[in-house]
A and B are shown apart, each in its own frame.
Chain A
Amino acid sequence: MQDCIPQNNSKLPSPRITINSSTFLKIKLMIFRKSPLSATLRAALVIPCLLLLSLPLLSQQEDWIRTGTGLGVQKIRLAVPDFKAANQDPKNAELLKTFNETLWNDLDNAGIFDLVSKSFNPLEVPGQPSEVKYDAWTSPPPNASMLTFGNLGVTSDRVAVLGWLYDVKNTAAPQVLGKQYSDAATTDAARLIAHKFADEIIFRLGGGIPGVAESKIYFVSDRTGHKEIWAMDYDGANQRQITHLGAISLSPRISPDNSRLAFSSMGKNGWEIMMYSFDLGRMITFPRFGGTNLSPAWSPDGTHLAFSSSRTGDSDIYLVDASGGDLKRITNEKGPDVSPTWNRKTGAQIAFVSGRTGLPQIYTMEADGTNVQRMTDQGYAVSPNWAPNGQFLAFSWMRKYGPGAPGSNDLYLMDIASKQWVQLTHDGSRNDFPSWSPDGRHIVFQSNRSGTEQIWTMLADGTKVQQLTFTGRNTQPNWSWK
């Protein structure tokens, strides 16, 4: 993948570093030549990702430094032929279509496979182990290392799916996975089974990191005429309305255990933190704090919420426990403080946005408010979201902000330890509210690149961009923790 960041116009050509992780995560870091790649950066980027840092490859022509750990590691070549019908039931066709599409998309979205184009498949595809012809799959054109196959059959009101994952080059003991699923014979169930099977394959072949096919994305949509909180599957399917408040509801944040949804909503007395319980299927009471209360954020253990409140007249970050008690103020600077996000790995730090020096910048601090560090040095930086591995912040940045400046803002990743950053989007539109997938391989965000604000996903290196929503204006996505 070639870099598409425009060349820096400064007299000093800027070296660029590309770091690839073994899991796939490619992070391009653009640094100035003066700042050497620090040991901390290497440690920060490399160790947690189980990386083998390949030595910088100097590209003389471009004066870019290219480095990475996944270089030379091929993506696993996986063949995913359509599952076959197990019997003659007339409902098979509809469910198979949903199942096959979902399974393909899940494996494709995972970003760790080189999928064999279906047109390369042999004419006869297997529906069960006895039908597998190993040579036909291991030789060109499919040239597959792994093969997943199986069958689906509807019997009365139940659907049964048998699925296998075979290491076709290991003919002596080919079976890696053999799974059996049964559920009501509906397309929703077929989609869910495909998600589960895909997650099994991704977990087995993706370095033990659970897949995200069963995860959910919460977001704000105005398609009913009011901004309400909605939910959808990670791939955009199954979009459904959660709140019916008829007001303005914003900033949904799902709890780490998926049981509660915190958000802010404009009530009679202004903006308050609201809480929806998925266990009860309704709103539950949460204290009113007075002033403008915005942008709740769950601690990774689910015991605390950080949020912004102007109850004393100035917007500051506060902490409460999960039921809204034990209110503590942890920032105390003049100027708006908003959009906290916890270090998802440690739960010990909070990143947030502050306008204390003028334009909003990203800061980090300990969860008790000490050791405040400014992370961004210029422009307009908002919407930080802490990566599951604890090492990166994704955020939205308009590096040159001001009257007359171009109105694009892009998504960036920053390495916390070194403050090195890399730009993920380059499309000249407004990209905002990045939110990491639980596996740290994907980012969901809002963008107006299609003309209106919609929800999009991409791999965390900025590739494989997909639009998930199309109706109304859809903003502020929040990816579930699992």
Chain B
Amino acid sequence: MKQQKIRWITLVFMLAAIMMVAACKKKTPPPPPPAPPPPPAPTASISANPNTIQKGQSTTLSWQTTNAKDVSIDGIGAVQPSGSQQVTPADSTTYHLAAKGDGGTQEATARVTVTAPPPPPPPAPSATEEEMFSQSVKDIFFDYDKYNIRTDQQSSLQGDAQFLSQHSSVTFIIEGHCDERGSTEYNLALGTNRAEAVKSALVQAGVAANRIKTISYGKEKPFCTESNEQCWQQNRRGHFVYSK
């Protein structure tokens, strides 16, 4: 019995000693818990081609994802994992793609810049209108020292009246010109009557008088400076100038 006690005591001591010795040693870390096999992470990319458009134009968004269950693009909604779609943003937009999968969530963005059309709206139609004006509205030519509209000028005048009636916002100036012959003061008065003759013919054809300004240049600003009838005829005219 006594021996058994001693044995127990010895064993306890030994154990204690062992434990003490063991306590003085560095504790060995416990082995890491075994990680569960990780599911593969998703990947995502999105691009816009072209990425700069003018307002009103469209662009193509293309995206690709892998390992994703839910793929969505802000403003579009859920989409196929990979695909492409035409969009027509009104303003510059950042398309945000989110790809969610078991392995996590991946995001990607594509920026589409929308620019204003290069010719701003007001000048664009105006320039064309002015071009159309100068192409369509024909000057009216006169006989020497005359300010009545010649019969061969009636078709020009009708064309002018038609254009000016169709473009009712256009205001314009009729310049009266004369050839170099004759006297400065009389030619200025004659030029006035020429411009007024064209104006009153247009007014009769239905063009509002308040759209028309007249001015006389007499022989002060000739179109042609040679001294022959061909040139003089060029200078005897009612000349249309677009004003707005």
Residues of chain A at the chain B interface (Cβ within 8 Å): 227, 248, 250-251, 266, 270-271, 291-292, 294-295, 308, 310, 313-315, 335-339, 353, 355, 358-360, 380, 382-383, 396, 402-403, 407, 432-433, 475-476
Q: Mark B172-192, 1 if CB is under 8 A from A, else 0.
A: 000000000111111011111
Which residues on B are within 8 Å of A, measured CB to CB?
A: 144-145, 147, 181-186, 188-193, 196, 199-200, 214-216, 220, 227, 229
Given contacts A338-B186, A475-B184, 8 further A-B contacts (CB under 8 A): A271-B215, A291-B192, A310-B192, A314-B193, A355-B189, A358-B145, A360-B182, A407-B227
Q: In the complex, which residue of chain A has the Cβ closest to the Cβ of B190? A: A336
Contact of A292 among B181, B183, B189, B200 (CB under 8 A): B189
Could you pull out 5 A-B pairs where Cβ atoms are within 8 angstroms?
A292-B192, A336-B186, A336-B189, A355-B145, A433-B184
Q: From known contacts A292-B215, A310-B192, A313-B196, infer whether A248 and B186 are also in contact, taking CB-CB under 8 Å.
A: no
Q: In whole angstroms, how far apart are the Cα atoms of A251 and B189 in the complex?
A: 13
Q: In chain B, what residue has the closest Cβ to A395?
A: B183
Q: Which of A294, A380, A402, A407 contacts B188 (CB 8 A)?
A: A294
CA distance A29 to B142 in the complex (A): 37
Task: Verify B144–A355 contact, CB threshold 8 A.
Answer: no
Q: How far is the CB of A447 from chain B (nearest CB, A)?
A: 13
Give the docked Cα–Cα distance between A292 and B193 (Å): 10
Contacting residues, chain B, for A337 (C-beta < 8 A): 189
Contacts of A308 in B (CB 8 A): 185, 189
Contact check, A382 vs B185: say whether CB atoms are below 8 A apart: yes
Q: For residue B144, which residues in chain A have a CB less than 8 angstroms away from its CB? A: 402-403
Bound CA span A380–B145, Å: 10
Cross-chain contact B184 with A353 (CB below 8 angstroms): no
A250 x B189 contact (CB < 8 A): no
User: With A313-B200, A314-B196 in contact, do A383 and B145 touch (Cβ < 8 Å)?
Assistant: no
A339: B residues at CB distance < 8 A: 183, 185-186
- The one of B185, B200, B229 that contacts A250, using a Cβ cutoff of 8 Å: B185
Closest Cβ neighbor of A475 among chain B residues: B184
- For the complex, give the distance between the alpha carbons of A227 and B217 in Å: 13
Tell me which residues across on chain B come within 8 A of A291, comparing CB atoms.
Answer: 192
Given A271-B216, A313-B196, A313-B200, A355:B184 Cβ within 8 A = no
Q: How far is the CA of A383 from the CA of B185 in the complex (A)?
A: 8
Q: Tell me what chain A mostly uses at the interface: helix, strand, loop, or mixed.
A: strand
Which of A294, A432, A433, A475: most chain B Cβ within 10 A? A294
Taking the nearest CB of chain A, how far is it from the CB of B133, in angstroms?
A: 21
Q: Would B145 and A292 count as touching, CB distance under 8 A?
A: no
Q: How far is the CB of B225 from chain A (nearest CB, A)?
A: 13
A476 to B219, CA, bound (A): 14
Say whether A476 contacts B184, CB under 8 Å.
yes
Q: Is the CB of A292 within 8 A of B216?
A: yes
The residue on A at minimum CB distance from B227 is A407
Complexed CA–CA distance, A433 and B182 (Å): 11
Taking the nearest CB of chain B, how far is it from the CB of A296, in angstroms?
A: 11
Chain A residue nearest to B200 in the complex (CB): A313
User: Taking CB as reference atom, which chain B residue is nearest A291?
Assistant: B192
For the complex formed, measure the closest distance between the CB of A250 and the CB atoms of chain B, giving whole angstroms.
6
Q: How far is the CA of A80 from the CA of B187 in the complex (A)?
A: 47
Q: Which of B183, B189, B196 contacts A383 (CB 8 A)?
A: B183
Q: Least Cβ distance of A395 to chain B in Å?
A: 10
Instruction: Determine the distance from Cα of A230 to Cα of B162 in the docked complex, in whole angstroms.
Output: 47
How long is the Cα–Cα vector from A376 to B187 in the complex, in angstroms?
19
Asked whether, in the complex, the Cβ of A382 is within 8 Å of the Cβ of B182, the reply is yes
Q: How far is the CB of A422 from chain B (nearest CB, A)?
A: 20
Given A250-B184, A338-B186, A383-B183, does the pair A403, B196 have CB atoms closer than 8 Å? Answer: no
Q: Is the Cβ of B183 less than 8 Å from the Cβ of A432?
A: yes
Contacts of A360 in B (CB 8 A): 145, 182-183, 186
A336-B215 CB under 8 A given contacts A383-B183, A475-B184 = no
Residues from chain A with a CB closer than 8 A to the CB of B196 are: 310, 313-314
Q: Which residues of A contact B216 (CB under 8 A)?
A: 270-271, 292, 310
Inter-subunit contact B185/A251 (CB<8 Å): yes
The reply to whether A310 and B189 form a contact with Cβ atoms under 8 Å apart is yes
Assess whether A292 is in contact with B188, with CB atoms less than 8 Å apart: yes
Measured in the bound complex, the distance between the Cα atoms of B84 and A308 in whole Å is 77
Candidates B147, B182, B185; contact of A294 at CB < 8 Å: B185
Shortest distance from the beta carbon of A248 to any chain B beta carbon, whole Å: 5
- One of A251, A270, A335, A402 near B193 (C-beta < 8 A): A335
Q: Once the chains are docked, how many angstroms separate the CA of A271 from the CA of B192?
A: 10
Residues of B contacting A382 in the complex (Cβ-Cβ under 8 angstroms): 182-183, 185-186
Which of B147, B215, B216 gathers most chain A CB within 10 Å?
B216
Chain A residues, Cβ within 8 Å of B220: 227, 248, 266
Smallest Cβ-Cβ distance to A360: which chain B residue: B186
Docked-complex contact A338 and B200, CB < 8 angstroms? no
CA distance A314 to B147 in the complex (A): 11
List residues of chain B with CB within 8 A of the CB of A266. Answer: 215, 220
Do A271 and B188 have beta carbons less than 8 Å apart?
A: yes
Tell me which residues across on chain B come within 8 A of A336, comparing CB atoms: 147, 186, 189-190, 192-193
CB within 8 Å for A294 and B183 given contacts A270-B216, A310-B196, A355-B145: no
Q: Which residue of B lies closest to A337 (CB)?
A: B189
Tell me the minimal C-beta distance from B213 to chain A in angstroms: 8
On whether the beta carbons of B188 and A353 are closer than 8 Å, the reply is no
How many Å lie between the Cα of A456 and that of B202 in the bound state? 45
